[in-house]
Structure 1
Amino acid sequence: MGNQGRPALRGILIRGNPTTEAIEEGQAVLKLLDALDLAPHVRVETGADAVGPFLCLRLNDEQAQAWAPGHDTLQLCKTLHLDTLTQPADLMREIVVTLLMGPVAFEFPSLDELLSAVRIRRNIVLAARKTTLAFHTREVDRPPDCWTYNEDRGFTVLPGVSLIAALTKATQPEVSGSLYAFSCYRATEYVILLGIAQELEKINPALLQQLQTMWTARPIASGEFHEVFLREQGSMDEPLPPRYFVPGDRTWFRNPDEPSSEASGFEGSWVMYLGGGLFSNLWKHEQPYTLARKCVEIYHWRLGLYLDENGEERIDEARIEPMIEAALHNPAELQRIMAVMERYREPRGVYTDAGGCIDTTREFARWVRPDTADLVLPAQ
C-alpha cells in the first residue's frame, strides 16, 4: 500500500514488516511501553511508503483533543493526574502519551530504538532537573579533577575519567559540591550527551567507548553537536504547534528585542522541557520555568539594558526582577506580554515589532542501538 493521498503520518512510526495483525502488533508495542491501557484510545495503522513498510500508532483525535486541546501538552500532567516528580512511571507515561499525539510522526527503525528513545528522554529530564550553572558571561570552568582546557580544543575529559561522571560533576552541584560557569547552550549539550551516554552504557557500550575516546581528544559542540547527536522536527515553514512539547525536548526561546539581544548571554534562552508544563532553569534548578515566566522574563530583558564601563551591553537582572514578578501577578499586563511573546520567533537576524520568542522546532536525540544507530561520530 503506497502513501499517495494519505494524510501526513502522526504519532509513533516503527519501520519493519509487521508480523501479526495491525491491532495485535500495536498492542504488543503498547505493552512494552507499559501503556496497554491506552489501547482503546490508540489508532493503529500499517502501510508502506518509499522507505518501506511501517507500523504507525497515534492517539485518536478525540482523545488527543480532550487531553491536549490544540496539541497543548503543557497541561497534560494535570489533566491525567500524573506526578512525574515522585513517580518515575508517570514520567514515562507522559513521554509516551505526548509521542503518541505527535503532529508529525516520530520515526524509529525498530521497537528497541523506540524504547531507547523513551529512556533517553527520561534520562535527560532527570539530569536537567538537577543541572545548575554559575552565570558568568566571560568566565568558563569545569571540575578540575575531570576536565582539562586547551585553547584550540576547549574542555576535554581527562584520560581515565568516565565521561558520564565528568558530565555529571560539571552540571550537578549536588554531586560536585560546586557551581561551574558555561553557557546555557553548552549546558543543554551536556545534559543531552549525559542522557545518551547513560543509555549507551546499557545497550551499546562500544559506541559509549567511542564517545569516551572522542571527548578525551576533542569535544563536539555547537553546530557540529546538533548534526551528530540531534534530530529536529518542525521548520519555519511548517512549525510545530507552539505549546506542543515532549519531555526531553530541547528548544530555544528567542529574545525578540534587538538592542537587548546584543548583550552577551541574552540572545535567547536554550532550555530542556521537563514535562508537567515546566522548562529547565539552569541557574536555579529548584525553580523551573513555566511558559509564562520564561516569556515574561525574556520580555523584560529590554528594560534592564545598560552599557558598562567598557561600552558593552549588559542586562541588570536585579532591576527587572521586581518588574517580572509584578507582571506575573497583573492579569492584564501578563496577557499583553504573552500576546507579544507567545508568537513564533522571526528568522535569525530578523527583528520586527510583532515580537515572538517561541521556536518552530524541537530537538531530540538520534538513534543509538547497535544495529540501527544513526549517531555517527566524526574523525578526531
Structure 2
Amino acid sequence: MNSACFSGDFPSAAPPPRGIELPGADPAQAGRVRDLLDALALGPYVAESASGAGHAFALAAGVARDLVPGGDTMHLCRDLGLDSAAGSAGLEREIVLAMLAAPRPLRFASACEVLAALAIRRNTVLAARRTRLAFGTAAVERPPSHWTYDPGRGFTVLPGRPLVEALTLATQPGAGDGRLYGFSCYRASEYVLLLGIAQELERVNPPLLARLQRQWETRAIQSGAFHDTFLDEYGSIDAPLPLRYYVPGDRVWFRNPDARSSDASGYEGSWVIYLGNGEFANFWKQDQPYTFESKCVEMYHWRDAVYLDAAGDARIDEAVVEARVRETMADPQRRTAVLARMARLRDGRGVYADGGCLDHSRESARSVCPGSARIALPSARGAPHALQ
C-alpha cells in the first residue's frame, strides 16, 4: 500500500465492496433503503443480500470493477455523467454510490440513520462549498453579533442566537457582511461538520439540537474532544482504506511528510472536506478547490518555502509555494515524480521516513436519529452522557 497510486494506476482485481448494512430481518427497514435507491435510480447498480443478521446493499461486483477500480471513487461523476455541483440530486447519487462501494461494511442501526447520514454528508458538502475563511492559527475572530470568546470556554454562541445561523455567519461570507474570519483548517473543518449535523438535527431530532445549542452557549467542544463526540473513523493504520476511496462529506487528513516544514504552525498537515467529483474544499480560496493531485503537490512544496521569522519561528512563504506548484503542475515528468513521493500512505506519528501524505482513514458524523443517536455531550456536572 505504500507504493504510488494515481492517475488510475490500480490493481485489476479488488475484493467486492461491502456497502451498507442494516441489522435484523425487518423488511420495512430494507424497504426504505430500497426506496431510496430507486428514487436515485441506483437500483440496477446494486446487489442486495439478506440473512438472519440483517440486510446488505452494495455495488454489484461487475459494476464495482468498472466504476470503482481498486476502490477509486473519484471518477464516479465523470463516468456516470453526474453533475454533483449543480444540485442535490447528482450529489446524493454520488454519495450513495460511494457508500455502496465501501470496502468494509458501513453499519447503520436503521434506515432512518442511512437517510440521516446521506443528508449530513450533503449538508456538509454544500456548506464546505460556500465556506471561505482567512487562514490563522493564533489571531482568530467570529461575528460579534452571534459569538463571544472566553479563554477557558472558547468561542461560544450568544444566548438566543441559533447555532445553525451562528455557524453559517462565521464560515460563509456570502451569508453575512462578506467579512472573512480567521480559522485554522482543523477548526474550520469542525465548524463545517457541526453545521451539517445541526441542520439535520433540525429535521430528525430537535431535542438533541436543543441540547447541542445549550452546549455551545456554555462551552465549545473542539480538537480531540470534537472527534470523540461527533465523528466515527473508518479505516485504520492496520486496515487502511484504498488510497482514492472517498465519500463526499468525509473529513480527510493530508499529513505533511516533511519534518522541517511541519514545524511551521498550521503546516503539520491539512484537514479538508471531500466535495465529490475528485475535489476537496479549499477554505482559503473558495473558487479553487483542490484536486487529489494539486493537494499532494502543494503539500510537497511546503518544504521549499520554509523561513524563520524575527522570533525564530518557522513560517511558510505561500508565494513561494504557489510558484513552485505552478512549475510542477506544468511539467508532466516533475509532477509524476512528486506524486510518486506523496500519493502513498503516511508514516506513523512522529515518523518522517518514506511515507507520503495520505491518511489511512476518513471521518464522518455519528448517528443522530432518536433511539440510536451516538452523540454524547458533557453533562452539567462534566461527565458525558448519551443523548437520544
Q: Deviations over 1:285-328 (max 9, x none)?
A: 11100011000000000000011111100001112211101101
- For 1:329-348, what aligned pairs fall within 5 Å after superposition? 329-348=330-349
The answer on whether the counterparts of 2:17 and 2:101 sit within 8 Å (CA) in structure 1 is no
Displacement, 1:69? 1.0
- Name 2:48's counterpart in structure 1: 44
Displacement, 1:30? 2.8
The answer on whether the counterparts of 2:17 and 2:59 sit within 8 Å (CA) in structure 1 is no
Displacement, 1:35? 4.6
Amino acid at match of 1:30: R
Amino acid at match of 2:252: T
Q: Which runs of 5+ in 2 are unaligned?
A: 1-14, 381-388
Q: In the aligned structure 2, how far is the partner of 1:213 from the partner of 1:173?
A: 25
The answer on whether the counterparts of 1:249 and 1:364 sit within 8 Å (CA) in structure 2 is yes
3-state secondary structure, aligned to 2:327: helix
RMSD: 1.5
- For 1:24-39, what aligned pairs fall within 5 Å after superposition? 28-35=32-39, 37-39=41-43
Q: Deviations over 1:184-224 (max 9, x none)?
A: 10111111110000000011100000000000000111111
Would you say 1:233 and 2:234 are equivalent positions? yes
Amino acid at match of 2:56: C
**Number of residue pairs matched by the alignment:** 365
The answer on whether the counterparts of 1:132 and 1:285 sit within 8 Å (CA) in structure 2 is yes
Name the CA shift for 1:31/1:19 in 2 (closer, same or farther; >3 Å). Answer: closer
- Name 1:174's counterpart in structure 2: 174
Q: In the aligned structure 1, how far is the partner of 2:217 from the partner of 2:175?
A: 21
- Name 2:21's counterpart in structure 1: 13
The answer on whether the counterparts of 1:235 and 1:360 sit within 8 Å (CA) in structure 2 is yes
- For 1:85-100, what aligned pairs fall within 5 Å after superposition? 85-100=85-100
Name the CA shift for 1:85/1:291 in 2 (closer, same or farther; >3 Å). Answer: same
- Name 1:3's counterpart in structure 2: none
Displacement, 1:339? 0.3
Would you say 1:75 and 2:75 are equivalent positions? yes
Q: Deviations over 1:99-122 (max 9, x none)?
A: 011101111000011001001000
Displacement, 1:61? 1.6
TM-score by length of structure 2 reads 0.91
Q: In the aligned structure 1, how far is the partner of 2:16 from the partner of 2:43?
A: 21
Amino acid at match of 1:84: S
The answer on whether the counterparts of 1:157 and 1:216 sit within 8 Å (CA) in structure 2 is yes
The answer on whether the counterparts of 1:305 and 1:314 sit within 8 Å (CA) in structure 2 is yes
Q: Which runs of 5+ in 1 are unaligned?
A: 1-6
The answer on whether the counterparts of 1:344 and 1:359 sit within 8 Å (CA) in structure 2 is yes
3-state secondary structure, aligned to 1:364: strand
Name the CA shift for 1:311/1:245 in 2 (closer, same or farther; >3 Å). Answer: same
The answer on whether the counterparts of 1:16 and 1:109 sit within 8 Å (CA) in structure 2 is no
Name the CA shift for 1:320/1:38 in 2 (closer, same or farther; >3 Å). Answer: closer
- Name 1:375's counterpart in structure 2: 375
Displacement, 1:28? 4.9
- For 1:355-374, what aligned pairs fall within 5 Å after superposition? 355-374=355-374
Q: In the aligned structure 2, how far is the partner of 1:34 from the partner of 1:377?
A: 36
The answer on whether the counterparts of 2:17 and 2:61 sit within 8 Å (CA) in structure 1 is no
Displacement, 1:347? 1.1
Displacement, 1:8? 9.4
